[in-house]
Amino acid sequence: MEHFDFIEMKLPAKPEYVGVIRLSVSGIANRMGFTYEDIEDLKVAISEAMTNATTHAYEENEGGEVTIGFGVYADRLEVMVADHGGSFNLSDVKKQTGPYQQSESIENLREGGFGLFLIDALMDKVEIKSGYGVIVLMTKNLPTNEVGLDDDQISTTQ
Amino acid sequence: MEHFDFIEMKLPAKPEYVGVIRLSVSGIANRMGFTYEDIEDLKVAISEAMTNATTHAYEENEGGEVTIGFGVYADRLEVMVADHGGSFNLSDVKKQTGPYQQSESIENLREGGFGLFLIDALMDKVEIKSGYGVIVLMTKNLPTNEVGLDDDQISTTQ
Amino acid sequence: MNINLSIDVIEKDNQTELIVTGEIDAFTAPLLKEKLLPATAKESEKIIVNLQDVAYMDSTGLGVFISALKSTKEHGSTLTLVNLQERVHRLFKITSLDSIIAIDTTVRGGE
Amino acid sequence: MNINLSIDVIEKDNQTELIVTGEIDAFTAPLLKEKLLPATAKESEKIIVNLQDVAYMDSTGLGVFISALKSTKEHGSTLTLVNLQERVHRLFKITSLDSIIAIDTTVRGGE
């Protein structure tokens, strides 16, 4: 079986913890060797998924929690964001997903309509599963190293 | 009961993930309003506990994992670091804990002897429990706000 | 609790400038909305949002600017975003929202 | 895998300077040890470790410097740490290791 490391986080489904998740994913992705640009993409995508999860929790009026799993592979990072409980109409969400179209009137633009679209645009692969809660499973590939391995690679964290 | 938020992380007991934990605790502590100095203390203390846990896992030759729990209270942060499995002689560890004494010969200084001492020096309260694995439970209090509440407090993350 | 966003509001004749510092996400976006929306409700007000010191933004920020744009259309005010960092500007381009929200790219922060 | 530590080694007559950049923790300390220990094994070598760009260090870093100090005593070399940031210096003070490890405080980084 393909080897990977697994990291799991459970947090209250509250918006104040979205920033915590961003720092965590930033640490994991930096350690894996992702570029600055890719790390920024990951931060946005995971924040969007966590924001969706906290919104569901809020709508359901529950003090729920969000589970985030990171699968660290040699060539990619898989991130799973799951909220527990609360139902979710997947086809409704998919209908709302897309960039702004010139034909749409500004009045009809949805304030919260771009989250899933951004996840899809910024990650290499995205799957959404709905059942008891919602699971967003997204993958970002590490760039294949075509310049050859450089032992003395310099990198600094924030 | 006193209200608190709970955040849990599970990571492979490997040194390459110590930096990830530092970023996560930094995010949580920053959100709670800890000072820069206190956040640096927390980063060291939690890294020390995680390093201990990864060392035990290594000695036991297991692909173990470390569980870290953060209890976010109004006036303090409680951090629990637990490794699973591997026995641990608590009294041996406590004997080794202390600053360097002029009477000690340099030859007898232990390379890894300052981890628990630093945790104790940098945190407000520390408990170590040994049984099936080791649990380090440490508390850092938020400074009591004597200057009064300032709504327009400016803060930036890294 | 600390909030990683601060907003300075500078009001002149018929002009409101918001200087935004920090991160715009689900936690902080309500604060931005609270400071921005009242300005857009003033007839013929010119609103400038300076995003030079915003290093992070996601769709919650886009949502606030969509609300603000709607409000300007209702009340006859105008909204312009200035000094966007490349990463932040990119989100407006990906979503095509740069076709309806005025973004002044003559000066851009973070480059 | 990325390692957040880089070490430049500058060798002159009887003097080795290590310029350390990044974070010293359980993951990166072995790299520091690997670069530092061989220098301490040279008789009458003067070793300077410049920590100006080390923003984070914990007891694993203290452990490396203890090993290096032991090695200097065995081999007749010397070890001096320079340009410590206040936070890093603090760890040597808390543990009283500043009484046995030479730290040049005339120039200090990060202040």
- At the fourth CATH level, which superfamily is domain D5-75+88-103? STAS domain (3.30.750.24)
Q: B32-63 as b/e, with b when 16 or more CB fall inside 10 Å?
A: bebeeebbbbbbbbbbbbbbbbbbbbeebeee
CB contact under 8 A, A31 and D6: no
Q: Where are the domains of chain D?
A: 5-75+88-103
Global confidence as pTM: 0.86
CA A157 to chain CA centroid, Å, is 21
Chain A partners within 8 Å of B8 (Cβ)? 8-10
pLDDT confidence of residue B100: 75
pLDDT tens digit sequence for D96-108: 999 999 999 875 4
Taking only residues 2 to 41 of chain B, the set having a beta carbon closer than 8 angstroms to any beta carbon of chain A reads 5-12, 14, 16-17, 19-24, 26-28, 30-31
pLDDT confidence of residue B146: 53
CB contact under 8 A, C2 and B154: no
User: Hey, which chains touch C, using 3+ CB pairs under 8 Å?
Assistant: A, B
Chain A partners within 8 Å of D18 (Cβ)? none
Residue labelled with tokens 């002029």: B102
pLDDT confidence of residue B85: 54
Q: Where are the domains of chain B?
A: 5-141
The residue in chain D having the minimum alpha-carbon distance to the alpha carbon of residue A30 is: D2
Which CA distances in Å does A62 have to A56, A84, B55? 9, 10, 40
pLDDT confidence of residue A94: 57
ipTM of the shown complex: 0.87
Give which of A26, A17, A35, A147 is closest to A83, Cα–Cα: A17
Tokens describing residue B1: 């009961």
pLDDT confidence of residue B70: 97
Say yes or no: B76 contacts chain C, CB-CB below 8 A. Answer: no
Mean pLDDT of D53-62: 97
CB contact under 8 A, C94 and A15: no
Say yes or no: A157 contacts chain B, CB-CB below 8 A. Answer: yes
Tokens describing residue C31: 């604060």
**Ramachandran category for residue A133: left, alpha or beta (phi over 0 → left; psi -120 to 50 → alpha):** left
pLDDT tens digit sequence for A42-61: 999 999 999 988 887 666 65
The residue in chain B having the minimum alpha-carbon distance to the alpha carbon of residue D100 is: B106
The secondary structure element, H or E, covering residue A22 is: helix A18-32
pLDDT confidence of residue A56: 72
Interface of chain C toward chain B, CB-CB under 8 angstroms:
1-4, 6, 21-23
Identify from B6, B11, B20, B30 which residue to disrupt to test chain A contact, counting A C-beta atoms within 10 A and taking the largest count: B20
pLDDT confidence of residue B56: 72
SS3 A36: helix
Compute the count of residue pairs across chains B and D with CB atoms less than 8 Å apart: 78
CB D4 within 8 A of CB A157: yes
Q: Is the pLDDT of residue D7 over 70?
A: yes
Chain C partners within 8 Å of A19 (Cβ)? 4, 23, 25, 27
Mean pLDDT of C10-32: 96
Helical residues (DSSP H) of C1-111, grouped into ranges: 29-40, 59-75, 86-94
Mean pLDDT of D17-36: 97
Give which of A33, A115, A121 is closest to A81, Cα–Cα: A115
pLDDT confidence of residue A145: 64
pLDDT tens digit sequence for C43-98: 999 999 999 999 999 999 999 999 999 999 999 999 999 999 999 999 999 999 99
The residue in chain D having the minimum alpha-carbon distance to the alpha carbon of residue B15 is: D27
Chain B partners within 8 Å of C4 (Cβ)? 30-31, 155-157
Interface of chain D toward chain B, CB-CB under 8 angstroms:
1, 4, 23, 25-27, 56, 58-60, 62-64, 66-67, 69-70, 73, 87, 91, 94-97, 99-100
CATH topology of domain B5-141: Heat Shock Protein 90 (3.30.565)
Contacts for A58 with CB less than 8 Å, ≥ 6 apart: A13
Of the pLDDT bands very low, low, confident and very high (cuts 50, 70, 90), residue A157 is very low
pLDDT tens digit sequence for B42-79: 999 999 999 988 887 666 656 788 999 999 999 999 99
- State how far residue A24 is from chain B, nearest Cα, in angstroms: 5
Mean pLDDT of D8-19: 96
Secondary-structure breakdown of chain C: helix, strand, coil percentages, each rounded to the nearest 5: 35, 35, 30
pLDDT confidence of residue A108: 66
Give which of D90, D78, D66, D83 is closest to D41, Cα–Cα: D78
Chain C partners within 8 Å of A120 (Cβ)? none
Which CA distances in Å does D66 have to B44, B112, D45, D69, D100? 18, 9, 17, 5, 9
Mean pLDDT of C96-108: 86
- State how far residue D99 is from chain B, nearest Cα, in angstroms: 8
pLDDT confidence of residue D111: 41
Of the pLDDT bands very low, low, confident and very high (cuts 50, 70, 90), residue D49 is very high
pLDDT confidence of residue B101: 73
pLDDT confidence of residue B144: 82
Mean pLDDT, chain D, as a whole number? 93
Residue bearing the bigger pLDDT, B85 or C37: C37
Segments in chain B below pLDDT 70: 57-62, 85-98, 102-103, 106-108, 110-112, 132, 145-158
**E-strand spans in chain B?**
5-12, 65-72, 76-83, 125-131, 133-141
Which CA distances in Å does A118 have to A36, C15, D9? 18, 32, 45
Identify from A3, A18, A20, A28 which residue to disrupt to test chain B contact, counting B C-beta atoms within 10 A and taking the largest count: A20
CB contact under 8 A, A27 and B31: no
Give me the residue from D4, D6, D22 closest to A152, CB to CB: D6
